[in-house]
Amino acid sequence: MAVKKAIHDFYRMKEAGEKVTWLTAYDFPTARFAEAAGLDMILVGDSLGMCVYGYRGTVPVTMDQCIGHCDAVRRGAPDTFVVGDMPFMSYQTSDEDAVRNAGRFLKEADVDAVKLEGGTRVVSRIRSLVDAGMVVIGHIGLTPQSSGALGGHKAQGRTAKDAALVVEDALAVQRAGAHMLLVEAVPPEVARYIAQTLTIPVFSIGAGKDCDGQLLIVSDLIGQFQAFTPKFVKKYCDVASIITQAMRDYCADVREGRFPEDQHCYHMMDGEKEKFLARMKP
Ligand code: KIV
């Protein structure tokens, strides 16, 4: 059985140059697969809005949905570091709301850390959560909950001026006391600078390889999410076609009488069939 990693392990890994592996999961079976595969961390991302519920973005996702999915993931991966993702409007309103909602993740779903989006604009939220004793992961660069304000799901920090703003956000998150940082859709040279400058572990999703670890959305990695595929995704298999083909085969078997077969049936106990037929005689 794998030993569950804790925050100090990720600091040690950064120090040793060992990459941290991180994937999203939203349900019990996927969490089991992730733990069996040896992932270091699981994010129950609010990307579940698109990947599980079919919303166009993450904005409609609620606290109750996130808690329910975290709870299922925790049961599937009891020995993996699980991160709950704070959904839109669970922390934007006030420090008090942020602490109350983040606390729900810990109390109701037994997560190890919470993640929230934003840099300089959320420093007081990060401080409040850290002061309440929680492990906090910042998220900067492309922040999907505010993609409207960013002009869409666009890479960030592609000019020298914008890159300096991303670095400013990274420094603010660390100064506020966050334990780790996720950088999304930022040029690799900017992310490398951040990972080298910050003392906390810095993870990349679409920010190149020179961070302390990588995150991908599991639905992208296994080829399940089909609405769009960001440039930074590497698809490792195509479950959409495997599942669709299996369903087609099932339909054909049922329609043509090939399923169920004898081996799929519960037979009567010895001698009971004759008694049954005798009883049913008119
Ligand atoms: O919700 C999520 O999966 C995320 C990633 C896009 C970073 O926050």
Domain ranges of the chain: 7-237, 242-280
How far, in Å, is the centroid of ligand 1 from the Cα of 139?
9
Give this prediction's pTM. Answer: 0.95
CA-wise closest residue to 113 among 49, 171, 43, 168: 43
Q: What is the pLDDT of residue 11?
A: 98
Q: Which residues is 23 bridged to in the sheet?
A: 42, 216
Mean pLDDT for all residues in the chain: 97
- Of the candidates 28, 34, 66, 32, the residue with the CA atom closest to the CA atom of residue 47: 66
Question: Nearest 5°: CA angle at 52, between 46 and 55?
Answer: 75
Distances (CA, A) of 120 to 30, 165, 170, 173, 195: 34, 9, 8, 7, 18
Element (H, E) at 194: helix 188-197
- Mutating to test ligand 1, I would choose from 61, 215, 225 the residue with most ligand atoms within 8 A of its C-beta, which is 215
The string of pLDDT tens digits covering residues 94-113 is: 999 999 999 999 999 999 99
Protein residue with its CA nearest to atom 5 in ligand 1: 45
Average pLDDT over residues 205-218: 98
pLDDT band at 81 (very low <50, low <70, confident <90, very high): very high
Q: Which residues contact 102 (CB under 8 A, 6 or more apart)?
A: 84, 86, 90, 91, 114, 116, 129, 132, 134, 136
Q: What is the mean pLDDT of residues 60-87?
A: 98
pLDDT of residue 282: 84
Point out the catalytic residue in the list 184, 256, 261, 274: 184
Strands 213-216 and 136-141: unpaired
Nearest atom in ligand 1 to the alpha carbon of residue 117 is 8
Q: Is the per-residue pLDDT at 1 higher than 70?
A: no
What's the rounded mean pLDDT across residues 241-268? 98
Dihedral sign for Cα atoms in the order 197, 112, 101, 43: positive
CATH numeric code, 7-237: 3.20.20.60
